[in-house]
Amino acid sequence: MKVNTFQDKIRLVRSGRDYFDTLKTILQKAHYCIHLHTYIFEEDETGREIAEILIQKAQEGIKVCVLVDDFGSKDLSKKFKQQLLSQGVQIRTFSPFQIFKLRFGRRLHQKIVVIDMKFALIGGINIANKYAGIGRKEWLDFAVLLEGEIVRQCFWICQQFWDKKYQRDVFIQNRHIFLLQQDFFRGKKEIARAYRMAISKAQTEIWIVASYFLPNKSLRKLLIRKAKQGIKIKILLSAISDVQFFKKATEYLYAELERAGVQIYEYLPSVVHGKVMVVDRNWATVGSYNLNAISEYMSVEMNVATTEKTFIEVLRADLQKIFEQESILLEKAYKRRNIFTRAYFWLIRFILKLAIRFLRKNRQSYLRE
């Protein structure tokens, strides 16, 4: 255990220009090493711009390690990858996707950039135009910029994935900022536990921003119980979805949540891709973890949790503006529940159960990837 002797810093970053300006700034400050992990790296204007900076830094003699998920970044061309490799950028794909051999799981879903053990950018934002807001309103998402000793822990986590040697994590003791991992195959369940614990301890309010929202039965019961106890719960979901069948399955849950007093909002300007929770103005988390079984059992995820008061107030104020000015509170949401939403819900639930059962049986083989 290493005690933190320096003041760590945390700053909220929004998708769009805020995120990509921040990303470009810290990349340019690299002096010896860059780690970039992402689920999606698109070969579009945004992806090419980031790639150019990575190539520039590699040609300056800086070690550049890019790890992308093989399924999420399946559209990256061999030519694009080869261009990066030929210019000194080391790029690898995580968990080759082979559906005929049923190699569809353990996905790299975390989004983290670490620069020289000085800066870490962690959240839910991928490298693509839709997150940058090019040609459309950017998808709603969030990240945090970390500075200080805690970045050493971020660096060590990335290095383990790069080396494929999962050893005991370096732990930086910090009273206000915490790194949380979720990786069922390595026994990491920190994010799921943190969500459950924070909700169970809530005294006044719980605000959630969720994409692909399909929490398991026990978590739904916990939310319903807290709502019936008088805790004010707001959940922001997407009115516009990039995965319609998943949205229909989510709508099946509206009735039981609404009956318990949970307020369900839908964001109107674009797709909700954020994964955020604020509890009682004294605890918050931002990251890549979705409230569904895919993130809980099948994906590598990373979140940052914090009790830092100033950060939480900034985040809460931002969310309040989104709830009040850019979203609608659903009334009679139970009307969304019908035979079709029920069918989608139970079909997805069945498929996920089969997938999780298969992945558990093949746990050791995935750890060798």
Spatial CA neighbour of 280 closest among 309, 251, 258, 243: 309
- State in words which class domain 2-175 has: alpha beta
Angstrom distance (rounded) from CA 141 to CA 145 = 14
Angstrom distance (rounded) from CA 123 to CA 284 = 13
Spatial CA neighbour of 192 closest among 214, 219, 160, 170: 219
Q: Copy the structure tokens of residue 334.
A: 């139970």
- CB within 8 A of 230, min separation 6: which ones? none
CA dihedral 48, 158, 356, 343 (to 10 degrees): -40
pTM: 0.92
Q: What is the CATH code of the structural domain delimited by 185-355?
A: 3.30.870.10
Same fold for the domain at 2-175 and the one at 185-355? yes
- CB within 8 A of 52, min separation 6: which ones? none
Angstrom distance (rounded) from CA 135 to CA 111 = 23
Residues 184/296, Cβ–Cβ less than 8 Å: yes
pLDDT at site 151:
95
pLDDT at site 43:
96
Residue with tokens 């799921």: 192
pLDDT in tens, 241-280: 888 888 888 998 998 999 999 999 999 999 999 999 999 9
pLDDT tens sequence for the chain (369 residues): 333 434 789 999 999 999 999 999 999 999 999 999 999 999 999 999 999 999 999 999 999 999 999 999 999 999 999 999 999 999 999 977 555 444 456 899 999 999 999 999 999 999 999 999 998 999 999 999 999 999 999 999 999 999 988 776 666 666 799 999 999 888 899 999 999 999 999 999 999 999 999 999 999 999 999 999 999 999 999 999 888 888 888 998 998 999 999 999 999 999 999 999 999 999 999 999 999 999 999 899 999 999 999 999 999 999 999 999 999 999 876 667 778 788 878 888 888 877 777 776 665 555 555
Amino acid, single-letter form, for residue 204: T
Residues 275/289, Cβ–Cβ less than 8 Å: yes
Angstrom distance (rounded) from CA 264 to CA 215 = 14
pLDDT at site 142:
98
CB atoms < 10 A from the CB of 6, how many?
Answer: 11
Q: Where are the domains of the chain?
A: 2-175, 185-355
CA dihedral 336, 137, 209, 114 (to 10 degrees): 150
